[in-house]
Amino acid sequence: MATMQEKYILIAMDGSDHSEFAFNWYLENLHRPNHYVILLHCPRKHSFIQGPLGGTANTQSIQAAIAKEEKKEKAFLETLSKKLKDSEIGGKVKSVSGKAEEMIVKVAKDENVSFIVIGCHGKSKVRRTLMGSISDYVIHHAHVPVFVCRHDSLHH
């Protein structure tokens, strides 16, 4: 009897209800025993530094803010690891800094995934047109199928 070849699956996770819905949708609709799931998180690093230059920030306050951000990130990654374990899914958690949409496509290619699962934040058409959306970018740039999970109760 032939063994099932392992397939790598990427699920983008950002801590939102949208990514939770996407993870649960994957579990209920697509998961197979031969799937190896990569939960990918692309944190926004040091967003407090991206504000206007100048101000009164000092080295100690910046270091404290970075430490707080790193602690929060570590806790989130541990939550994702627990999610895999509790769901009895083989896989790993990966965190990559950079623009989320670009990193999702890059990691999917680097890890040779079979498909990508991503939540949809439900931006308005105007906002999506002006700013773009992560899911739109991934759909147009990924080398594999992309499942965009949209839940009506999460969109207003």
Q: Is residue 131 scored above 50 in pLDDT?
A: no
Using one digit for the tens of pLDDT, what is the confidence trace for 19-77? Answer: 999 999 999 999 999 999 999 999 876 555 555 555 556 788 888 888 888 899 999 99
Q: Which residues contact 76 (CB under 8 A, 6 or more apart)?
A: 15, 41, 43
Which amino acid belongs to residue 51? G
CA nearest 17: which of 155, 123, 154? 154
Which domains, and CATH codes, for the chain?
7-47+58-154 (3.40.50.620)
Tokens of 95: 């965190």
Indicate the pTM of the whole model.
0.82
Give the best-scoring range by mean pLDDT among 1-10, 43-52, 117-126.
Answer: 1-10
